[in-house]
Amino acid sequence: MATDIRNPVQDPIGEINKYDFRNEEKFVFKARKGLNREVVVEISEMKGEPAWMREFRLKALDIFYSKPLPRWGGNIAVNFDEIYYYLKPTQGQVKSWDEVPEEIKSTFDKLGIPEAEKKFLAGVKAQYESEVVYGSLKAELSKQGVIFTDMDSAVREHSDLVRRYFSTLIPAADNKFAALNSAVWSGGSFVYVPAGVKIEFPLQAYFRINAPNMGQFERTLIIIEEGAQAHYVEGCTAPMYSTESLHAAVVEVFAKQGSRFRYTTIQNWANNIYNLVTKRAAAYRDALVEWVDGNLGSRLTMKYPSIYLMEPGARGEVLSVAFASTGQHQDAGAKLVHCAPHTSGRIISKSISRNGGRSSYRGLVRVMKGAKKSKSNVVCDALILDPRSRSDTYPYIEIEEQDVMVGHEASVSRIGEEQLFYLASRGMTEHEAATMIVSGFIEPLVKELPMEYALEMNRLIELQMEGTVG
């Protein structure tokens, strides 16, 4: 059904709200399934993009067609012709609160999510009403020359800046889903922090007024100039529901000399979602990049945040937690690539599987020739809570240089009988004890989260352990 976009306020989708008014007259939006050149051209024109972006999208589409599905990782049972790559009016959003699945609604209640936030998260409302809060933050940021906006606007308003970096870290040919994202991306964040600017508070994805938080093909680009500092937070512990089951995001981060940047994600996608993400950072001289990655939902997540340590003194750290319950497969991990001498990196991966879930660590440490005196360490711990569940480890280590230190430690454990008895002897039921042990297991990640996320994370673990979520 066509939607007249001259009245954007009535449309429940944030995406349409973003469009320039000058496009209003040219189009009556038609909804359709499937992917082809026409759809891609239409997307680009709807967004009013410069020609270079349209060409980029079309080239990416060809690459997408030419690439096969990966033969590793999870089972991506997706019919590409059945997907809406671009929004029909209610795509990805339910029309009313009544249509939101019951278990999602009750999880919101249990997590104590306030009313307005619930509707936003369920996609019923397009926009999180944080204008009052965000308004003052935004003023502060722009005074310092910080750009924090949605990607669509950035392409239009900061075209040259974006073009300099866009897709230089993750080319469309990187993998099939990077190619797909490159062709049909929409939404996502653009962050630019000028040299020397240190942003004290975390930049939250949902502070972007224009776009909903759960875009299908989000594209994020972050540039941290020399000596700058920022922390970006994405996602939330409440389950995110979307009627479209394929989500393929791309995130590129540039951390220049002496900068510090952390990207925190807590994601709890509903059980129907394929969440396939390509996230990569380039850390330059003496820069520090940290990925803090919590994956607690989805039907299949394939995500390997990576850091390329480009110049001496660069440091990278990936802290990752994956929790797979019934019908879920978390194939998560990290990649560290040492491209220069005197670089260091660390990966800490904690995976939990219960009730038939499957949780894997898949990681790469690569030390290239010439990257002398580099240090890299991987700790991957798996906790399997019952005999039906499964955990796998796929560590790849490629070392092309002699004078380096690379370590890898792995452990697989169950909840010990002695631990359960000890906690029982202090009055805890077996279930309470198991939940407490699981919380302790992921503590190294939780203690790095901003306070409100940490609290929500703990509550979420409790719910996951009950099996009432997703």
331 near 74, Cβ under 8 Å?
Answer: yes
- Residue 164, both tokens: 């300099």
Cβ proximity to other proteins: between 30 and 431 the closer is 431
Site membership for other proteins, residue 456 (CB under 8 A): no
How many residues appear in the chain?
470
**Do residues 309 and 336 lie in contact, with contact meaning Cβ atoms separated by under 8 Å?**
yes
* Site residue total, other proteins (CB under 8 A): 26
CB 275 within 8 A of CB 73: no
Pairing outcome for strands 344-353 and 189-193: unpaired
Site for other proteins in 8-27 (CB under 8 A): none
Q: Which of 424, 451, 452, 453 binds other proteins (CB under 8 A)?
A: 424
From candidates 25, 102, 109, 418, binder to other proteins by CB under 8 A: 418
**Beta strands per DSSP E along 325-357:** 329-338, 344-353
The helix (run of H) or strand (run of E) holding residue 280 is strand 274-283
Q: Distance between CA atoms of 275 and 267, rounded to whole angstroms? A: 10
Of the listed pieces 121-129, 179-187, 220-228, 441-449, which binds other proteins according to CB under 8 A? Answer: 441-449
> Mapping DSSP to helix (H, G, I), strand (E, B) and coil, where does residue 263 land?
strand
- Residue 18 amino acid letter: K
Closest approach of other proteins to the CB of residue 436, in Å: 6
Q: Does 442 bind other proteins (CB under 8 A)?
A: yes
162 near other proteins, judged by CB under 8 A: no
Q: Is 121 in the site for other proteins (CB under 8 A)?
A: no
* Closest CB to other proteins among residues 31, 420: 420
Provide the minimum distance between the beta carbon of 412 and other proteins in the complex, in angstroms, as a whole number: 15
CA–CA dist 396, 398 (Å, integer): 7
**431 sits near other proteins (criterion: CB under 8 A):** yes
- The answer to whether the beta carbons of residues 44 and 54 sit under 8 Å apart is yes
Q: Which stretch binds other proteins (CB under 8 A): 3-11, 89-97, 264-272, 431-439?
A: 431-439
417 forms part of the interface with other proteins (CB under 8 A): yes
Part of the chain binding other proteins (CB under 8 A), chosen from 26-34, 341-349, 391-399, 420-428: 420-428
Question: Would you count residue 462 as binding other proteins (CB under 8 A)?
Answer: yes
Q: Is 416 in the site for other proteins (CB under 8 A)?
A: yes
d(CA 223, CA 336) in angstroms, rounded, equals 19
- Only one of the segments 240-248, 297-305, 369-377, 424-432 lies at the binding site for other proteins (rule: CB under 8 A); that segment is 424-432
- Binding of residue 440 to other proteins (CB under 8 A): yes
Whole-angstrom distance between the N-terminal and C-terminal Cα of the chain? 31
Residue 467 interacts with other proteins (CB under 8 A): yes or no: no
Q: Could you give the CA distance from residue 365 to residue 87 in angstroms, rounded to a whole number?
A: 39
Nearer to other proteins, 90 or 439 (CB): 439
DSSP conformational letter for 212: -
Query: Phi-psi bin for 92: left (phi > 0), alpha (psi -120 to 50), beta?
Result: left
Structure tokens at 275: 């969440």
Distance in angstroms (rounded) separating the CA atoms of residues 127 and 236: 15
Establish if 52 lies at the interface with other proteins (CB under 8 A).
no
- The structure tokens listed for 14 are 């944030």
The single residue among 76, 78, 419, 454 that binds other proteins, judged by CB under 8 A, is 419
Q: Quick one: 312 or 444, whose CB is closer to other proteins?
A: 444
Q: Does 432 bind other proteins (CB under 8 A)?
A: yes
Query: Is residue 62 a contact point for other proteins (CB under 8 A)?
Result: no
- In this chain, which stretch among 20-28, 31-39, 270-278, 412-420 interacts with other proteins, using CB under 8 A? 412-420
Residues that bind other proteins in the complex, under the rule CB under 8 A: 416-419, 421-432, 435-437, 439-444, 462
